[in-house]
Homo-oligomer: A and B are copies of this chain.
Amino acid sequence: MNLKSLAESLGLSTTTVSRALNGYPDVSAATRERVCAAAQAQGYAPNTRALSLATGRAMAIGHVIPGASRHEIVNPIFADFVAGAGETYGPAGYEILLSVMPEGTEEEGYRRLARSGRVDGLVLQAPRPADRRIDLLTELNLPFVVHGRATEAEADYSWLDMDNRRAFARATRHLTDLGHRRIALLNGPADMDFAIRRAAGFHEAMEAAGLAVAPEHIRHDQMTEFFGYAAAREMLAADPAPTAFVTAALLIALGVRRAVEEQGLRMGRDVSVVTHDDGLSYLTNGAEGAPLFTATHAPVREMGRATAAMLLTRIAAPDAPPAHRMMPADFVLGPSSGPAPA
């Protein structure tokens, strides 16, 4: 069922039918009525491929999953972020094009994606401090918004980020205020910009409290339960052991809790834990109103929605100056943190 046969069945030209369906003025109300009814009845939907070729708009946004190497860890926040973005795209008629780019082929991959015309814009995730993708995309002249920031990027670009530094300073200060002096940081991968900002916030608060940071109490790794468990287990066995942990993800915190309890210690009394919580739908911090961990909380789904909205306005007005948006994190008090043991 294409435009042509629909037009024929109505005894009209394709031009008129097209204009009628797209709300152009040059068509009488009666005709428009008739056309719309017929389209509805015959179940007409424009062929996106043709539409896209004619209009030059792909009506799709690219999201890239970096690294398709077999044992790569898929970022767990990815699903929620994309679901959030989808909520924004849907009503606007955009679809998500997911591109899995094998490590190493990235430059070529982005180039091809841009030239292929499959997408009208791109969302960049998990940037590194000097992320080459930003300059690349600027050069390719494809609208994009970065979820996160790339500290050392030269060009100005649109981004939406959580205030990582401030959130982690807040979390750490909470612990120093409680009298903790040996605080460990279980952070995300060291080459991620967000992890660097989180570390900065941590150091800032430690310094403000006049505390030294023990290098052996800082760890960077993929944010898994096992990382939290293994790192905490090791640190707790050492002497002196930390009395508190700041962790970059709820999964890490769950691992820490496992190590803590395995040692016969109690969380919130013997060892305090403050975590960042991405508000993942399938991994909530306890129940509503009864959090399990003291946490900084910033729902990533919300960020997906907001990032998508920024990108859509950017696509609508590509020449507008880049926009920036900083999302704050809530601070939630839970039973996992308490005064430092004497």
In the complex, what's the smallest C-beta–C-beta distance from A216 to chain B, in angstroms? 21
Residues of B within 8 A of A102 (CB): 90
In the complex, what's the smallest C-beta–C-beta distance from A61 to chain B, in angstroms? 10
Residues of B within 8 A of A225 (CB): 254, 283-284
CB-CB contacts of A122-139 with B at 8 A, as 1s and 0s?
000000000000000000
Determine whether the beta carbon of B97 is less than 8 Å from that of A98: yes
Known: A74-B83, A96-B97, A102-B90. A49 touches B47 (CB 8 A): no
- From 107 to 134 in chain A, residues with beta carbon under 8 angstroms from any chain B beta carbon are 111-112, 115-118
In the complex, what's the smallest C-beta–C-beta distance from A241 to chain B, in angstroms? 20
In the complex, what's the smallest C-beta–C-beta distance from A66 to chain B, in angstroms? 10
Determine whether the beta carbon of B117 is less than 8 Å from that of A49: yes
Q: How many copies does the complex hold?
A: 2
Determine whether the beta carbon of B99 is less than 8 Å from that of A95: yes
Cα distance A52–B47 in the bound complex, in angstroms: 11
Q: Is the C-beta of A73 less than 8 angstroms from some C-beta in chain B?
A: yes
Determine whether the beta carbon of A282 is less than 8 Å from that of B86: no
Known: A86-B98, A90-B68. A283 touches B76 (CB 8 A): yes
Determine whether the beta carbon of B283 is less than 8 Å from that of A251: yes
Cα distance A320–B110 in the bound complex, in angstroms: 36
Q: Is the C-beta of A155 less than 8 angstroms from some C-beta in chain B?
A: no
Determine whether the beta carbon of A116 is less than 8 Å from that of B222: no
Chain A: how many interface residues by the 8 Å CB criterion?
65
Cα distance A82–B74 in the bound complex, in angstroms: 10
Q: Is the C-beta of A89 less than 8 angstroms from some C-beta in chain B?
A: yes
Q: Is the C-beta of A43 less than 8 angstroms from some C-beta in chain B?
A: yes
CB-CB contacts of A39-65 with B at 8 A, as 1s and 0s?
000011111111011000010100101
Cα distance A97–B82 in the bound complex, in angstroms: 12
In the complex, what's the smallest C-beta–C-beta distance from A81 to chain B, in angstroms? 10
- For A71, A75, A225, the residue with the greatest tally of chain B CB atoms inside 10 Å of its CB is A225
Residues of B within 8 A of A71 (CB): 281
Determine whether the beta carbon of A45 is less than 8 Å from that of B254: no
CB-CB contacts of A74-94 with B at 8 A, as 1s and 0s?
111011101100110110000
Residue in B58, B78, B254 whose CB lies within 8 Å of A49: B58
Determine whether the beta carbon of A284 is less than 8 Å from that of B226: yes
Residues of B within 8 A of A53 (CB): 47, 49-50, 53
In the complex, what's the smallest C-beta–C-beta distance from A107 to chain B, in angstroms? 12
Enumerate 18 A-B pairs (CB-CB under 8 Å) in ascending A order.
Answer: A1-B115, A43-B111, A48-B117, A49-B117, A63-B98, A68-B83, A68-B86, A71-B281, A74-B281, A74-B282, A76-B280, A76-B282, A90-B101, A96-B97, A97-B97, A97-B98, A226-B286, A226-B287
Q: Which residues of A contact B (CB under 8 A)?
A: 1, 43-50, 52-53, 58, 60, 63, 65, 68, 70-76, 78-80, 82-83, 86-87, 89-90, 95-102, 111-112, 115-118, 222-226, 230, 251, 254, 257-258, 261, 280-284, 286-287, 301
